[in-house]
Structure 1
């Protein structure tokens, strides 16, 4: 995905994970804001929320994150189809069988939609 890290997938997953963490932090800060009453605490919270929102509400960042999410899902489906372990590589030697062929056909069919 262009615009993420410059190295492409899967190296750009760190950026996607950062974005997801920022979204989660934004939700938690929003929940917390209703519970804070002190002026200093409120000021600090507003400052942090502002910085988080600069990331999670930026249109280009959101579009890139959505693309990374789609690519990640595709690769996860491919890994599942090939029965790849979580830490395995798609270039590993994989024994071919009917199940893998069927699952690959499903993944390819989903890509055509």
Structure 2
């Protein structure tokens, strides 16, 4: 059995293949393509852009709420996705990123709540 067949067996049943000398090799994990790991980042950026467009249209309550939603989406991605899938959303340690994103989201929600509605 060659290395490719051993990797396929390891991936299919969860066991690590034996190399013949009685030692088990580490399971082979497929790398995520770079462009696919940037999808969560692109989703967060597009939501942020939508919030900025809404603010530019003079909706000062809805815009920050959408931006806060984008920050909460980024925090959710940072919490649940593995390191290979997070892409550019991983800036610092996980807990620092989560604390920063959630704090900014809460502050923007408070801002959206107390801001006067200027458009009619």
Sort the TM-score into its range (normalised by shorter chain): 0.3 to 0.5
TM-score (norm 1): 0.33
Bigger Rg over Cα: 2
TM-score normalised by the chain length of structure 2: 0.31
